[in-house]
Structure 1
Amino acid sequence: MTARLNYVELPVGDTAASKAFFEKAFGWSLTAFGPDYAATTGQAGSDIGLNGDAGDATAAPLAVIETDDLEAALASVEAAGGVVSRPIFAFPGGRRFHFREPSGNELAVYVNEPG
Structure 2
Amino acid sequence: MSGQVNWFELPADDTERARAFYAGVFGWDTSPMGEDYHVITTGAAGAIAVRDVQLTQPRIYFHTADIDASARKVAELGGKADDVQTVPEVGRIAHCTDDQGTPFSLYEPQA
What TM-score, normalized to structure 2? 0.81
Match of 2:73 in 1: 76
Please list the CA deviations of residues 66-98 of structure 1 after superposition, one character each: whole Å capped at 9, or x if unmatched.
1121112112211111112x3111225111001
Q: Which amino acid aligns with 1:54?
A: D
2:40 touches 2:48 (CA, 8 Å); kept in 1?
A: no
Equivalent pairs counted in the alignment come to: 110
- Out of 46, 49, 55, which is 1:58 matched to? 55
Match of 1:32 in 2: 32
User: Aligned partners of 1:42 and 1:68: how far apart in 2?
Assistant: 26
Measured after TM superposition, the shift of residue 112 of structure 1 is 1.2
| Structure 2 gap ranges (5+) | none
| Structure 1 gap ranges (5+) | none
RMSD, aligned CA: 2.3
1:94 touches 1:112 (CA, 8 Å); kept in 2?
A: yes
Please list the CA deviations of residues 27-79 of structure 1 after superposition, one character each: whole Å capped at 9, or x if unmatched.
12222112321122584xx5232121635x42221111011211121122111
The percent identity for this pair of structures is 26
Q: Which amino acid aligns with 1:37?
A: Y
Match of 1:113 in 2: 110
